[in-house]
Amino acid sequence: MEKGGGLDIAKNIRLVEWLKSEILTSVAELYQLLAAGARVSQDALADCLASIITAAYLLGKRLGIPFAAIDSKIESKIRLGIIEEHDVEKHYGDLTALSEHYRTRK
């Protein structure tokens, strides 16, 4: 049993390292896309952002954080940003829009 448990731990560590690498790679790709300017498609940007978000959720799961806990933290940060009138909220209303998005998804 110990041998199998050790393999599971090693496998989990490799997956965590891969997910960290995936996040960094996707962030680098996002920077490259943004540097390219107007020639970049919205689909390419959305795909890159989706990769970052997906990898972050999976990394959280591998670290023992349930998806629902991450969602709860996101919703708390959105509420706090609205209350504190974060610049992105004050000038654009983006946090309110994101809050509405979360509310209607459920």
43-85: per-residue pLDDT in tens? 999 999 999 999 999 999 999 999 999 999 999 999 999 999 9
Decide if pLDDT at 105 tops 60: yes
Note whether 36 and 74 are same-domain residues: no
99 and 82 in contact (C-beta within 8 Å)?
yes
Q: Which phi and psi angles does 40 have, rounded to 5°?
A: -90, 135
Query: Looking at residue 40, what DSSP letter applies?
Result: S
- The pTM (predicted TM-score) of the whole model is 0.88
Note whether 59 and 79 are same-domain residues: no
Note whether 102 and 90 are same-domain residues: yes
Query: Looking at residue 63, what DSSP letter applies?
Result: T
Per-residue model confidence (pLDDT) at position 66? 98
Note whether 57 and 98 are same-domain residues: no
Note whether 58 and 78 are same-domain residues: no
Instruction: Tell me the residue range of the domain where 74 lies.
Output: 66-106
Token pair of 67 as six digits: 């998806």
